[in-house]
Amino acid sequence: MQREEKTKKGADNKYVLAIDHGTSGVKTAIVSIHGDIVDFETEKTSVYFLPNGGAEQDPDEWWNALVKTSKRLIKKSVVPPSDIVAVCVSSTMSSTVAVDSDGHHLMNSLTWMDSRGAPYVRELMGGFPSISGYNLFNVLRWIPKTGGGPTLSGKDDIAHVLLVKHEYPEIYEKTHMFLESKDYLNRRLTGEFAGSYDSTILYWVTDIRNINNVHYDDKLINRLKIDKNKLPPLKSSTDILGTVSKEAADEIGLGQEVKVVMGAADHQAALVGSGAVRDFEGHLYIGTSSWLECVVPFKKTDMFHSIASLPAAIPGKYQCINEQDIAGGVLPFLVDNIIYHKNLLRADEPPSEVYKKLDEIAERVPPGSNKLIFTPWLNGERSPVDNTTVRAGLYNVSMTTNMDHIVRAFFEGVAYNTRWNLKYVEKFINRKMDTLNFVGGGALSNVWCQIFADVFDRTIRQVENPMQANARGAALIASVALGYITFDDIPELIRYSNTYYPNPENRTMYDELFEEFLKIYNSNKAMYRRLNRIP
């Protein structure tokens, strides 16, 4: 039925091989040019955690996962390979790859969780007179041009570049370019070096004051003491980078005439895939990390809560960008590190449907989890506070607390943390965000949808195939690039599984628990700083 409806609108049975490269793996989908998910395949990739805040990934694992998932899809023959007209990648922001002139990576990628470059950022950006840890004159230099600045947490691309320069000088010297993960995969697909306006923003050296003329700023580059020639040429997300190289086409099973569209970072692709492409239409994403974002018709920065207007995948548009560090990632932690942690008491494996079981448990526990509060700061936090030392915890544990309460508290704790962010996002845009389109793996959970509606006191709209929002967004970006649709068409192409409304009976309780959640942070942040200070 869906395919027939699209055909009536003039579709020519054309498809995009859409790559959703996330922290935990690669999801590759065949998506119609109107956003219908035909089929998808997934392949996990590893994160290697190192002392003092290191978090690396092997770019070869990314490529191998992309090839494996793409080959499996194409071999299924769910669509004729000749009907695949483009490849488009969505990928994590701030996963930085140093490559040589042949595009080969020189070391593991430094991921968005890697904070080892923080000391170098603080040295360059700090000093008297100071505001929130930044030299006031640096604030005045950076924010008007870039919309932000290198974060003191050291998790941005620029911090990764500085880390390589100072601690791996021989690699820095050999580096031809530093590429974002998306742009590295595009290089493997086409042989071309480039970065998109939205994927390179966290180098914090692009002048975005004129959204139609984004360019590198020589003065900022010189202040950071990095080499401009190691940064990629800039393009729009909807630019066609080239065609799939013969080597990549043969490896994957595509024709060489297939176009590779620049694509977008995960935030920007998810926004497009959620359907919230008009000004102030919000979407909520819960994956390993989380965010609340929308398109905005202005350039603005809230430096105190790490929220800024930055380039969207939609040419000529800004997007309100923010990110919370760990959100949906708390559930694998709960399963692997706590419930099914292998020790003398337990050696069995989690059941295949373990996350559905967690949903069932959370649904049968009364809202509020017997006033048990979980804080999800397993890896520090980014927004609305930039704090690398804060950590997760369970509060108000009593003799009546059991694992069922803990399970629901994990769901609710993520919702409290996201409501904390919502407070400042709504202040940023000067209006209430209602309704929110919910995407990402977290949106598969019906009980989580209702928890977010209740905790936020907002209507939550569950997007169909929410885990494929990034792939859908990448495909729709490619479809726009090839002239099949416009961005204005997208809201009418998105379907919803359900709509969740806040239950007024839970309002008073969730307001109380949210206020206590905030007090937990304010009362304990100094302790976390003492316990987790990096030498």
What per-residue confidence (pLDDT) applies to 372?
98
Reported in sequence order, the residue ranges of 363-514 that DSSP labels E, i.e. its strands, are: 373-375, 393-395, 436-439, 460-463, 496-500
Model confidence at 6, pLDDT cuts 50, 70, 90, reads very low
Q: How many CB atoms lie within 10 A of CB 6?
A: 18
Which H or E run includes 39? Answer: strand 37-44
What per-residue confidence (pLDDT) applies to 3?
36
Model confidence at 132, pLDDT cuts 50, 70, 90, reads confident
- Encode 120-173 in three state secondary structure: HHHHHHCCCCEECCEEHHHHHHHHHHHCCCCCCCCCCHHHHHHHHHHHCHHHHH
Can you tell me the mean pLDDT for 53-57?
96
What per-residue confidence (pLDDT) applies to 417?
98
Architecture of domain 330-432+445-457+501-532: 2-Layer Sandwich (3.30)
Measured CA to CA, the distance from residue 46 to residue 25 in angstroms comes to 8
pLDDT digits (tens, 9 = 90+) for 93-125: 999 999 999 999 999 999 999 999 999 999 999
Measured CA to CA, the distance from residue 461 to residue 452 in angstroms comes to 11
Measured CA to CA, the distance from residue 247 to residue 266 in angstroms comes to 26
Please give the C-alpha separations between residue 214 and each of 195, 209, 312, 353, in angstroms, as whole numbers.
12, 8, 12, 46
* Beta carbons of 114 and 220 less than 8 angstroms apart: no
What per-residue confidence (pLDDT) applies to 344?
84
| Residue that the structure tokens 């990632």 belong to | 329
Instruction: Give the mean pLDDT of the chain.
Output: 95
What per-residue confidence (pLDDT) applies to 12?
65
Residue with more model confidence, 369 or 12:
369
**Backbone CA torsion sign across 410, 416, 422, 424:** negative
Model confidence at 158, pLDDT cuts 50, 70, 90, reads very high
- What is the distance, to the nearest Å, from the Cα of residue 318 to the centroid of all Cα atoms in its chain? 17
- pLDDT value at 300 more than 80: yes
∠ CA 82-87-91, nearest 5°, is 155
Please state whether beta strands 177-180 and 96-99 pair in parallel, antiparallel, or not at all (unpaired).
antiparallel
Measured CA to CA, the distance from residue 336 to residue 451 in angstroms comes to 23
Model confidence at 533, pLDDT cuts 50, 70, 90, reads confident
Measured CA to CA, the distance from residue 327 to residue 410 in angstroms comes to 9
- Reported pTM: 0.91
Q: Where are the domains of the chain?
A: 330-432+445-457+501-532
What per-residue confidence (pLDDT) applies to 256?
87
pLDDT digits (tens, 9 = 90+) for 403-437: 999 999 999 999 999 999 999 999 999 999 999 99
DSSP letter, residue 55: E
Residue 17 phi/psi, 5° resolution?
-85, 105
Q: Tokens for 50?
A: 């190192």
- Encode 347-398 in three state secondary structure: CCCCCCCHHHHHHHHHHHCCCCHHHCEEECCECEECCCCCECCCCCEEECCC
pLDDT digits (tens, 9 = 90+) for 349-363: 899 999 999 999 999
Q: In what order do the strands lie in the sheet with 318-321?
A: 301-302, 307-311, 318-321, 290-296, 282-286, 436-439, 460-463, 496-500
- pLDDT value at 9 more than 60: no
- pLDDT value at 10 more than 50: no
* Beta carbons of 462 and 23 less than 8 angstroms apart: no
What per-residue confidence (pLDDT) applies to 535?
59
Can you tell me the mean pLDDT for 72-85?
94
Query: What SS3 class is residue 305?
Result: coil
Can you tell me the mean pLDDT for 206-219?
98
| Residue that the structure tokens 């969207």 belong to | 312
Q: Tokens for 406?
A: 């803990």
What per-residue confidence (pLDDT) applies to 2?
38
Q: How large is the C-alpha radius of gyration of the chain?
A: 22
Q: Tokens for 170?
A: 């021989």
Per-residue exposure over 348-384, b if at least 16 CB sit within 10 Å of its own CB, e if not: eeeeeebbeebbebbbebebbbbebbbbbbbbbbbbb
Measured CA to CA, the distance from residue 166 to residue 534 in angstroms comes to 18
In 3D, which of 187, 190, 184 has the Cα closest to residue 107? Answer: 184
Q: Tokens for 290?
A: 């989380």
pLDDT digits (tens, 9 = 90+) for 428-480: 999 999 999 999 999 999 999 999 999 999 999 999 999 999 999 999 999 99
